């Protein structure tokens, strides 16, 4: 029994990891792009970006998932999403990437705006180009500022992936819960559900260690 | 010929005229102090010279060559702008050292980036870097900071940080070195070490413009002084005359408010 349960949970955890990884890969660059939009000198773009960020951060991710996955099929003749698990993964990934990109964009904006203006000016009077100022002067200070808040968001993301269950994506919690209502010939099993918590704890524990290491590696200077 | 000529420089922020028809010139090897109350336009003037602000009118000439002309409408390329701004160096009130670099790296960075653009950088990389290191170390030693070369800014006192910033500005060998209230952000007991460094630069005939609130220093170190008020030059002349025997009533009022000087 244990082997069967662990096999199923591992399978679910793999799906959780996939959603986690894809979200990070997509949300970091998209977040940077959105942060540029929210700092744009072109006012309509700035307002548009900030309104979108407000809506995405101001409504539940679960609602966004449901709308994205089910509503297009209601409006159009057929659902635009591929059949089955692929479609559910794709919809989840898009909702998660967009949602997290909006959170990340605010952190990036804070990091960029937090670098004192004097740093850029010092670079300018020393004859540095814009690119040199960004990469040689501002970037590291930005990174140092955003590591703690980004770490926080990433830990939250580990657990938020379970929201994809609402559109029946077969992530870790769904795998555990299925043993309660009948799966692989077992039903009424409570412990697999509890045991999913161990996966989350271990994974977020590993991430915490990695983030602490990163922070310590940036300890050599102060901003 | 004057090393620097500023002609009819004007600058406004929205409705506020910060600089009005500023005219002055500077000879090579001369130190000029600019005094005046806060908001008189002194800092804006330095920022205009260093291309951190764009004047609305006027011209700036270095060695007789126009480096800024408000009438010139076409936008300069980044490369051209850099070449022109390198005539000037600027030491900021609050240092603006790069926190992630050591004192030595701060002094060396800009020179290294410029050197990388040289066509022979790849083949001569080692010599060039060694040369830059040596020069940076020489400047830090000159500032009395030889034993602080490997320290990061947060490990240094304010006075030490400002001396690193001076070395950093000197590393690019600007024609004119500008100081924007270099001791205003320092604790009183740390101003002396920075003023001593600037004084010794003056003795070596470094061409300098010093915006300062230290009246005794402005008088003793500078050859000439300018008193600014409300965006205009009220009075200029030999530093000792302007500060000890001002001709203008406004200068006298300012100096009496600053106290200590008869």
pLDDT tens digits, one per residue of B103-149: 999 999 999 999 998 888 989 999 999 999 999 999 999 999 999 99
Percent of chain A predicted with pLDDT > 70: 100
Chain A neighbors of B97, CB-CB under 8 A: 122
HEC string of chain A equals CHHHHHHHHHHHHHHHHHHHHHHHHHHHHHHHHHHHHHCCCCHHHHHHHHHHHHHHHHCCHHHHHHHHHHHHHHHCCCCCCCCHHHHHHHHHHHHHHHHHHHHHHHHHHHHHHHCCHHHHHHHHHCCCCHHHHHHHHHHHHHHHHHHHHHHHHHHHHHHHHHHHHHHCCCCHHHHHHHHHHCECCECCCCHHHHHHHHHHHHHHHHHHHHHHHHHHHCCCCCC
Task: Locate the chain A residue with the closest alpha carbon to B52.
Answer: A121
List, as one string, the DSSP characters of B54-114. Answer: --SEEEEEETTEEEEETT--SPPPHHHHHHHHTTEEEE-TT----TTS-HHHHHHHHHHHH
Distance from the B70 Cα atom to the nearest Cα atom in chain A, whole angstroms: 19
Among A residues 102-131, those touching chain B with beta carbons less than 8 Å apart: 116, 118-119, 121-130
Chain A neighbors of B182, CB-CB under 8 A: none
- Which one, of B75, B129, B85, lies nearest residue B104 by Cα? B129
What's the pLDDT at A78? 85
The verdict on A205 touching B (C-beta cutoff 8 Å) is: no
- Which one, of B93, B103, B112, B185, lies nearest residue B139 by Cα? B103
CB burial readout A97-118, b (16+ within 10 A) else e: bbbbbbbbbbbbbebbeebeee
pTM value is 0.86
The answer to whether the beta carbons of residues B25 and B4 sit under 8 Å apart is yes
What's the pLDDT at B259? 61
Chain A neighbors of B152, CB-CB under 8 A: 220-222
Cβ-nearest to A125 among B50, B109, B113: B50
CB atoms closer than 10 angstroms to residue A155: 17
Tell me how far CA of residue B34 lies from CA of A220, B70, B202, B211, in angstroms. 38, 23, 15, 5
- Which one, of B124, B107, B106, B102, lies nearest residue B115 by Cα? B124
pLDDT band at B79 (very low <50, low <70, confident <90, very high): confident
Length of chain B (residues): 262
Looking at the DSSP bridge assignments, the partners of residue A183 are A186
pLDDT at B183 over 90: yes
Distance from C-alpha of B3 to C-alpha of B28, rounded to nearest angstrom: 5
The verdict on B254 touching A (C-beta cutoff 8 Å) is: no
The answer to whether the beta carbons of residues B228 and B35 sit under 8 Å apart is yes
Mean pLDDT, chain B, whole residue set: 94
Chain A and chain B share a number of CB contacts under 8 A equal to 66
The verdict on A41 touching B (C-beta cutoff 8 Å) is: no
Chain A neighbors of B78, CB-CB under 8 A: 129-130
pLDDT at A77 over 60: yes
What's the pLDDT at B83? 87
- Which one, of B2, B66, B7, B65, lies nearest residue B28 by Cα? B2
Cβ-nearest to A221 among B50, B99, B169: B99
Distance from the A116 Cα atom to the nearest Cα atom in chain B, whole angstroms: 9
Lowest mean pLDDT among A77-81, B36-40, B186-190, B258-262: B258-262
Chain A neighbors of B153, CB-CB under 8 A: 221-222
Cβ-nearest to A129 among B78, B89, B100: B78
CB burial readout A201-213, b (16+ within 10 A) else e: eebbeebeeebee
User: What mean pLDDT is predicted for residues A131-142?
Assistant: 95
Give chain B's count of helices (H) and strands (E). Answer: 9, 10
The verdict on B172 touching A (C-beta cutoff 8 Å) is: yes
Distance from C-alpha of A114 to C-alpha of A141, rounded to nearest angstrom: 9
pLDDT at B255 over 50: yes
> CB–CB of A221 and B110 under 8 A?
no
Cβ-nearest to A124 among B52, B114, B153: B52
What's the pLDDT at B77? 83
The verdict on B1 touching A (C-beta cutoff 8 Å) is: no
Q: Could you give the strand order of the β-sheet that contains B176-180, starting from the edge strand earlier in sequence?
A: B88-91, B176-180, B208-211, B31-35, B224-229, B232-238
What's the pLDDT at B81? 86
pLDDT in tens, B212-232: 999 999 999 999 999 999 999
Distance from C-alpha of B3 to C-alpha of A207, rounded to nearest angstrom: 59
Lowest mean pLDDT among A4-13, A52-61, B253-262: B253-262
User: What mean pLDDT is predicted for residues A159-183?
Assistant: 93
The verdict on A219 touching B (C-beta cutoff 8 Å) is: no
The residue ranking higher by pLDDT, B241 or A182, is: B241
The answer to whether the beta carbons of residues A143 and A218 sit under 8 Å apart is yes
Distance from C-alpha of A187 to C-alpha of A124, rounded to nearest angstrom: 68
The verdict on B113 touching A (C-beta cutoff 8 Å) is: yes
pLDDT in tens, B240-251: 999 999 999 999
pLDDT at A27 over 70: yes
- Which one, of B235, B260, B231, B221, lies nearest residue B38 by Cα? B231
Strand, helix or coil for residue B33: strand
The answer to whether the beta carbons of residues B144 and B59 sit under 8 Å apart is no
Question: Could you say which DSSP state residue B36 is in?
Answer: -
Distance from the A209 Cα atom to the nearest Cα atom in chain B, whole angstroms: 23
pLDDT at A9 over 50: yes
pLDDT band at B262 (very low <50, low <70, confident <90, very high): very low
pLDDT at A186 over 90: no
The pairing of strands B208-211 and B176-180 is parallel
Strand, helix or coil for residue B14: coil
């Amino acid at each position: 029994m244990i082997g069967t349960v662990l096999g199923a949970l591992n399978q679910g955890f793999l799906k959780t990891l996939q959603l986690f990884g894809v979200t990070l890969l997509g949300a970091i660059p998209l977040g940077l792009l959105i942060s540029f939009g929210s700092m744009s000198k072109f006012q309509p773009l700035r307002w548009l970006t900030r309104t979108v960020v407000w809506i995405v951060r101001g409504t539940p991710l679960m609602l966004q998932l449901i709308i994205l996955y089910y509503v297009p099929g209601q409006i159009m003749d057929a659902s635009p999403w591929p059949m089955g698990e692929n479609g559910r993964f794709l919809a989840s990934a898009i909702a998660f990437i967009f949602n997290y990109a909006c959170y990340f964009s605010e952190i990036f904006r804070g990091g960029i705006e937090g670098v004192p203006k004097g740093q850029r000016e010092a670079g300018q009077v020393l004859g540095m180009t814009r690119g040199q100022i960004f990469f040689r002067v501002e970037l590291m200070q930005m990174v140092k500022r955003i590591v703690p808040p980004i770490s926080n968001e990433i830990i939250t993301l580990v657990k938020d992936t379970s929201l994809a269950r609402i559109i029946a994506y077969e992530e870790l919690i769904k795998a555990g819960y299925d043993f309660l209502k009948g799966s692989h010939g077992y039903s009424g099993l409570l412990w697999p559900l509890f045991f999913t918590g161990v996966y989350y704890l271990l994974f977020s524990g590993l991430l915490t260690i990695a983030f602490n290491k990163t922070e310590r590696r940036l300890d050599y200077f102060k901003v | 010929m004057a090393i620097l000529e500023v002609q009819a420089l004007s600058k406004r922020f929205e409705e506020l005229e910060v600089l009005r028809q500023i005219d002055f010139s500077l000879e090579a090897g001369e130190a000029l102090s600019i005094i005046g109350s806060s908001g008189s336009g002194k800092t804006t003037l330095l920022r205009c010279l260093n291309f951190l602000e764009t004047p609305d009118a006027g011209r700036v000439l270095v060695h007789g060559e126009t480096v800024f002309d408000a009438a010139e409408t076409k936008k300069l390329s980044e490369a051209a702008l850099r070449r022109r701004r390198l005539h000037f160096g600027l030491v900021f009130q609050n240092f603006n050292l790069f926190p992630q670099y050591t004192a030595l790296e701060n002094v060396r960075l800009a020179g290294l980036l410029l050197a990388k653009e040289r066509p022979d950088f790849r083949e001569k990389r080692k010599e060039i870097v060694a040369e830059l290191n040596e020069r940076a170390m020489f400047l830090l030693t000159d500032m009395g900071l030889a034993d602080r070369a490997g320290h990061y800014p947060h490990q240094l006192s304010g006075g030490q940080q400002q001396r690193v910033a001076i070395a950093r500005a000197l590393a690019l060998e600007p024609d004119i070195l500008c100081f924007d209230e270099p001791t205003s952000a320092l604790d009183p007991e740390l101003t002396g070490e920075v003023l001593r460094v600037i004084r010794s630069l003056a003795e070596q005939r470094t061409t300098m413009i010093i915006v300062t609130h230290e009246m005794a220093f402005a008088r003793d170190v500078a050859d000439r002084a300018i008193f600014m008020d409300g965006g205009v030059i009220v009075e200029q002349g030999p530093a000792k005359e302007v500060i000890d025997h001002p001709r203008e009533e406004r200068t006298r009022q300012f100096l009496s408010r600053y106290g200590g000087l008869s």
